[in-house]
């Protein structure tokens, strides 16, 4: 199976103001002859005094929920490895609980391993290639390498590997198997032993009960869980004070082998569970069910019912790199908050492969309140609106960004054939629309000046033609009934009526009011930048919303009191003027003057200094220069030149934090250099999908944003998911200076990279170039060409662009509709 790229974090550094502070902590390798020397000394650039439990008393009425680290930090390091445990202790709440899945060896020693079959997370099949066996486990035949067939001494030659293919494999073969008796040496704040298969071990004359009782004599154990009733009952008589028994619930139709009853039936009798357990551990879907299409269903009453019965409730299966409901916009912090801050119930703990995320949710974000304004920095700038949740540049995307609390609402301006400025992410309609499926699908053209092959361009159609493209029935209900298919029924069978092209309010067959202004053309298409990884954005909204003119966009932004400004992005101005006779800069200037912005700022953005120079001469708007390549720095002359026409610069994430094979390697001085010239620095583009982030960020968009803001000191984030960035600004763990907890401290670039053994390091990459003055300076914009009217009878029929200048090198071709459709489909998905 191909391994997908997944982020995770290694080491932390203090916020930028305290970057000089650092504490070195050494970890001793218990097996120096087995390759652990690579991690003998790890520099943690945060003080260990920051490991305090930072949960304000007002956040929770009772005790704050617990964070249980599943096999340590198993989202990064091999499950149940020493470093996974130690790292979980460093970056989680101070009272984090270490989870150990207990397996017994042939000689009755206890080891921590997530599965009975050790082949799932060790290299045992390589060490003992001919010793696999087949056993019946709860009625299921399983072939593999089992702990019961090997002595503890034999297992000392076995190393741990990452058992999840979507996680880093660079740490495979480094860490030894950990015994239960070794965990106290890792200084666990709390210990949770999970015994999954007592019946299996009993059948092989191994007593899990005797082993756990022996552990009680040597170690403080906070929790013992099992999905077998009789095992828990067998511990009750000799249970130490302070140790709690937790009944682990598996699938609804799975059977507890110790009493031969399904877990679904047992959950209906919580008073019975209370007779032998203090709480229950259930999959998170028992609390917030998810339908087959990955949408949340109404929460169950399990938490409330269990609490009434006197049982604690712990939720399992939290993993930032696993699919979860579309409702959370790929944001694992948002998912965690739904279990602890929903106005109805709070679980007592969460079992996670990425315990930093639940630590953030509990300590920094829970119960903040909707009216908290948050800190001013960073500026949150939308990228095509909330384009991670809706098709970019549609009314829905902009309304979503406003609802999220975005600071700056953006509009990438494109020009139509009749000279109307519209908001659209690309000059090529194939990039973000379904135009290839329309009657204009034969207008594909190659334009070398734009570097685009087989495009259908905005300037090839009038605005009215774009508005009248073929559409389908599209109704939307606030409670997510969904968008309709072409047969007039939505994804859940609700009958809908046709809607107007301008989003007029209609009603469905049962009279429910549909949301005005957000329905209309199915021309738009949501972007799916990571479809190759199996990560697609909300399919219900994939063609939702309608595009807007710049004038309509400005009206929307002006009426949104929470929006502090707008950002107008202008590209391809020289080409439009010289070859299409369209003056995009004058159109934007005129539209902005007519909009009469007074209290909100206006920002003009471009990769072309010639555009910004013209705006500087003709307006007082804030001007932003976009560096359209990855850079490692800039010479002083280039920055001096930028300063003559701009007050801010947009750079890529890789220009600030460099990486190799998605492992962070260093921080450049790009931000500091630009800020030294009094230029603000905005960074793009932030996305929530975990594959968009370096491994060092734990598959957590909040960790990534925090590292750029607190570590690199950037002034603004350009994001397709503004809700995540806006929430970040409100978190109560900011502004604590030296008291900032580790789970809200920026990562240390290169910290994770240095742990990779030399033989496993990815090939070195060439450094990015320096930005030079010659790349910034441009000739003035050319005059607007006066084009001859197209031949014909004066009708408004669109045609493919024709050569309007002898220097124009345009290859026009009519492509069959099917091929055009194929090209559009590949581009979008």
- What pLDDT digit, counting tens, does each position of 444-454 carry? 999 999 999 99
The residues near 275 (Cβ < 8 Å, ≥ 6 apart) are: none
- Residue for token digits 């063609």? 543
- pLDDT averaged over every residue in the chain: 85
Residue 482 to residue 493: CA distance in whole angstroms? 9
For every residue of 311-366, DSSP letters joined together read -EEEEEEE-TTS---GGGTT-HHHHHHHHHSSSS---SEEEESSHHHHHHIIIIIT
Residue 317 to residue 301: CA distance in whole angstroms? 19
| Whole-number pLDDT of residue 375 | 87
Helix (H, G, I), strand (E, B), or coil: what is residue 141?
A: strand
DSSP structure class, residue 717? E
Query: For residue 103, what are the CA distances in angstroms to 200, 431, 655?
Result: 10, 53, 47
Give the pLDDT mean for 274-292: 98
* 590-603 tens-digit pLDDT: 999 999 887 899 99
Q: Nearest CA to 80 among 25, 39, 122? A: 122
Predicted TM-score of the model (pTM): 0.86
| Whole-number pLDDT of residue 790 | 65
Query: For residue 495, what are the CA distances in angstroms to 507, 511, 770?
Result: 10, 10, 58
Residue 616 to residue 743: CA distance in whole angstroms? 43
22 or 83, greater pLDDT: 83
Residue 670 to residue 681: CA distance in whole angstroms? 9
Q: Nearest CA to 622 among 633, 608, 606? A: 606
Give the pLDDT mean for 224-240: 98
Phi, psi of 817 (to 5 degrees): -55, -40
Other CB atoms closer than 10 Å to residue 236's CB: what's the count?
Answer: 11
* 100-121 tens-digit pLDDT: 999 999 999 999 999 999 999 9
Give the pLDDT mean for 535-560: 95
Residue 127 to residue 123: CA distance in whole angstroms? 7
| Whole-number pLDDT of residue 787 | 84
Query: Predicted confidence band at 468 (pLDDT cuts at 50, 70, 90)?
Result: low
Give the pLDDT mean for 327-343: 97
Residue 759 to residue 788: CA distance in whole angstroms? 65
* pLDDT value at 6 more than 50: no
Give the pLDDT mean for 686-709: 98
| Whole-number pLDDT of residue 14 | 44
55 or 289, greater pLDDT: 289
| Whole-number pLDDT of residue 55 | 54
| Whole-number pLDDT of residue 47 | 33
Radius of gyration of the chain (CA): 29
Q: What is the largest CA-CA distance in the chain?
A: 96
Query: Predicted confidence band at 823 (pLDDT cuts at 50, 70, 90)?
Result: very low
Query: Predicted confidence band at 3 (pLDDT cuts at 50, 70, 90)?
Result: very low
* pLDDT value at 33 more than 60: no
Q: Half-sphere exposure (CA, 13 Å, Cβ side) for 614? A: 21
Query: Predicted confidence band at 791 (pLDDT cuts at 50, 70, 90)?
Result: low
Q: What angle do CA 321, 327, 328 make, to 5 degrees?
A: 45
483 or 432, greater pLDDT: 432
Least confident of 312-316, 365-369, 491-495, 546-550: 491-495
Residue 671 to residue 674: CA distance in whole angstroms? 5
* 366-406 tens-digit pLDDT: 999 877 888 889 999 999 999 999 999 999 999 999 999 99
CB of 231 closer than 8 Å to CB of 208: yes
Give the pLDDT mean for 778-803: 67
Residue 644 to residue 627: CA distance in whole angstroms? 15
DSSP structure class, residue 513? B
CB of 496 closer than 8 Å to CB of 473: yes
* pLDDT value at 690 more than 60: yes
Helix (H, G, I), strand (E, B), or coil: what is residue 771?
A: strand
The residues near 461 (Cβ < 8 Å, ≥ 6 apart) are: 416, 417, 429, 435, 440, 443, 798
Query: Domain boundaries in the chain?
Result: 66-365
Helix (H, G, I), strand (E, B), or coil: what is residue 54?
A: coil
Residue 177 to residue 113: CA distance in whole angstroms? 8
| Whole-number pLDDT of residue 123 | 97
- Residue for token digits 């997370």? 121
Query: Predicted confidence band at 39 (pLDDT cuts at 50, 70, 90)?
Result: very low
Least confident of 2-11, 581-590, 610-619: 2-11
| Whole-number pLDDT of residue 86 | 97
| Whole-number pLDDT of residue 356 | 98
Helix (H, G, I), strand (E, B), or coil: what is residue 107?
A: coil
CB of 663 closer than 8 Å to CB of 762: yes
62 or 53, greater pLDDT: 62
User: Does the CA dihedral 609-611-615-618 come out positive or negative?
Assistant: positive
* pLDDT value at 478 more than 50: no
| Whole-number pLDDT of residue 653 | 98
User: Does the CA dihedral 731-736-740-745 come out positive or negative?
Assistant: positive
Give the pLDDT mean for 464-479: 51
Q: What is the 3-state secondary structure (H, E, C) of 659-709?
A: EECCEEEEECCHHHHHHHCCCEEEEEEECCCHHHCCHHHCCCHHHHHHHHH
659 or 63, greater pLDDT: 659
| Whole-number pLDDT of residue 483 | 36
Least confident of 11-20, 504-513, 545-554, 707-716: 504-513
- Residue for token digits 């340590």? 72
Residue 493 to residue 517: CA distance in whole angstroms? 23
CB of 510 closer than 8 Å to CB of 492: no
Residue 101 to residue 691: CA distance in whole angstroms? 28
* 738-750 tens-digit pLDDT: 999 999 999 999 9
Other CB atoms closer than 10 Å to residue 782's CB: what's the count?
Answer: 14
CB of 547 closer than 8 Å to CB of 414: no
Helix (H, G, I), strand (E, B), or coil: what is residue 275?
A: coil
Q: Half-sphere exposure (CA, 13 Å, Cβ side) for 208? A: 29
| Whole-number pLDDT of residue 376 | 87
* pLDDT value at 487 more than 80: no
* 488-536 tens-digit pLDDT: 333 333 333 333 333 333 333 233 333 333 333 446 889 999 999 999 9
User: Does the CA dihedral 264-289-55-10 come out positive or negative?
Assistant: positive
CB of 151 closer than 8 Å to CB of 179: no
Q: Nearest CA to 187 among 330, 39, 57, 82? A: 82
- Residue for token digits 């159109």? 587
Q: Nearest CA to 84 among 692, 698, 663? A: 698
Give the pLDDT mean for 329-335: 98
- CATH architecture of the domain with residue range 66-365: Alpha-Beta Barrel (3.20)
Residue 129 to residue 157: CA distance in whole angstroms? 13
Query: Predicted confidence band at 58 (pLDDT cuts at 50, 70, 90)?
Result: low
Residue 314, token pair as written in the block: 């712990």
| Whole-number pLDDT of residue 56 | 52
Residue 549 to residue 414: CA distance in whole angstroms? 9
Residue 150 to residue 337: CA distance in whole angstroms? 43
Cis before 19 (ω within 30): no
The residues near 348 (Cβ < 8 Å, ≥ 6 apart) are: 63, 65, 66, 279, 312, 313, 314
239 or 476, greater pLDDT: 239
Give the pLDDT mean for 201-207: 97
Give the pLDDT mean for 540-544: 93
Q: What is the 3-state secondary structure (H, E, C) of 489-517?
A: EECCCCECCCCCCCCCCCECCCCCECCCC
């Amino acid at each position: 199976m191909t391994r997908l790229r997944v982020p995770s974090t290694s080491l932390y550094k203090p916020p930028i103001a305290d970057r000089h502070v650092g504490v070195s902590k050494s970890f001793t390798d218990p097996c120096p002859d087995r390759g652990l020397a690579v991690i003998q000394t790890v520099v943690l650039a945060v003080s260990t005094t920051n490991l305090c439990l930072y949960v304000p008393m007002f956040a929770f009425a009772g005790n704050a929920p617990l964070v249980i680290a599943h096999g340590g930090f198993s989202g990064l390091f091999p499950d149940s490895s020493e470093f996974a445990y130690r790292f979980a202790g460093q970056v989680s709440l101070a009272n984090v609980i270490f989870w150990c899945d207990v397996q017994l060896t042939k000689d009755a020693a206890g080891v921590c391993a997530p599965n009975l079959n050790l082949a799932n997370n060790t290299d045992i099949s390589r060490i003992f290639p001919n010793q696999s066996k087949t056993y019946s486990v709860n009625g299921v035949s399983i072939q593999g390498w089992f702990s019961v067939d090997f002595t503890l001494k034999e297992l000392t030659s076995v190393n741990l590997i990452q058992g999840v293919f979507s996680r880093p494999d660079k740490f495979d073969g480094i860490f030894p198997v950990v015994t239960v008796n070794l965990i106290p040496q890792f200084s666990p704040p709390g210990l949770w032993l999970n015994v999954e298969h007592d019946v299996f071990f009993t059948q092989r004359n191994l007593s899990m009960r005797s082993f756990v009782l022996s552990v009680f004599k040597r170690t403080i154990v906070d929790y013992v869980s099992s999905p077998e009733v009789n095992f828990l009952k067998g511990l009750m008589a000799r249970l130490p004070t302070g140790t709690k028994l937790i009944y682990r619930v598996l699938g609804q139709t799975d059977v507890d082998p110790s009493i031969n009853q399904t877990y679904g039936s047992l959950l209906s009798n919580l008073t019975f569970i209370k007779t032998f357990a203090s709480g229950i551990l259930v999959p998170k879907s028992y609390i917030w069910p998810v339908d087959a299409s990955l949408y949340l269903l109404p929460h169950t009453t399990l938490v409330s019912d269990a609490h009434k019965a006197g049982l604690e409730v712990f939720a399992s299966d939290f993993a930032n790199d696993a699919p979860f409901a579309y409702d959370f916009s790929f944001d694992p912090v948002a998912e965690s908050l739904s279990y602890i801050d929903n106005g109805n119930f709070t679980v007592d703990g969460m079992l996670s492969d990425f315990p930093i995320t639940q630590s953030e949710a509990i300590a920094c974000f829970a119960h903040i309140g909707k009216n908290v304004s948050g800190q001013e920095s960073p500026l949150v700038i939308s990228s095509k609106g909330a384009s991670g949740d809706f098709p970019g540049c549609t009314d829905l995307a902009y309304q979503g960004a406003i609802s999220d609390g975005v600071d700056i609402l953006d509009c990438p301006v494109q020009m139509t054939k009749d000279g109307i400025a519209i908001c659209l992410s690309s000059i090529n309609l194939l990039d973000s629309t379904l135009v290839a499926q329309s009657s204009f699908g034969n207008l594909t053209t190659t334009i070398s000046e734009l570097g685009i092959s087989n495009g259908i361009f905005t300037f090839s159609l009038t605005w009215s033609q774009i508005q009248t493209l073929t559409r389908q029935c599209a109704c939307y209900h606030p409670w997510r009934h969904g968008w309709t298919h072409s047969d007039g029924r939505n994804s859940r069978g609700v009958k809908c009526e046709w809607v107007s092209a301008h989003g007029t309010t209609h009603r469905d067959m049962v009279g429910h009011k549909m949301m005005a202004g957000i329905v209309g053309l199915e021309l738009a298409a949501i972007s799916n930048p990571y479809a190759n990884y199996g990560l697609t954005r909300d399919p219900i909204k994939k063609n939702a919303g309608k595009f807007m003119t710049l004038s309509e966009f400005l009206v929307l932004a002006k009426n949104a009191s929470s929006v502090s400004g707008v950002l107008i992005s202008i590209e391809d101005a020289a080409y439009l003027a010289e070859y299409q006779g369209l003056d995009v800069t004058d159109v934007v200037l005129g539209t902005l003057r007519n909009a009469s912005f007074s209290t909100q700022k206006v920002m003009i953005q471009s990769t072309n200094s010639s555009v910004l120079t013209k705006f500087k001469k003709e307006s007082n708007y804030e001007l932003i220069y976009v560096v359209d390549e990855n850079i490692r720095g800039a010479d002083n002359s280039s920055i001096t030149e930028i300063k003559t026409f701009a007050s801010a610069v947009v750079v890529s994430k890789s220009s600030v934090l460099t990486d190799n094979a998605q492992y962070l390697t260093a921080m450049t001085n790009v931000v500091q250099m630009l800020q030294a010239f009094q230029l603000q620095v905005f960074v793009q583009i932030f996305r929530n999908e975990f594959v968009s982030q370096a491994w060092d960020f734990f598959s957590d968009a909040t960790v990534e944003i925090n590292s750029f803001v607190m570590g690199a000191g950037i002034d603004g984030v350009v994001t397709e998911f503004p809700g995540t960035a806006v929430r970040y600004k409100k978190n109560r763990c900011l502004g604590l200076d030296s008291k900032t907890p580790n789970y809200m401290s920026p990562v240390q670039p290169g910290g994770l990279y240095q742990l990779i053994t030399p033989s496993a390091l990815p090939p070195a990459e060439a450094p990015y170039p320096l930005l030079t003055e010659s790349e910034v300076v441009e000739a003035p914009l050319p005059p607007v060409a006066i084009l001859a009217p197209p031949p014909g009878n004066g009708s408004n029929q669109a045609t493919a662009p024709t050569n309007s200048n002898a220097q124009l090198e345009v290859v026009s071709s009519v492509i069959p509709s099917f091929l055009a459709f194929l090209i559009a489909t590949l581009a979008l998905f």
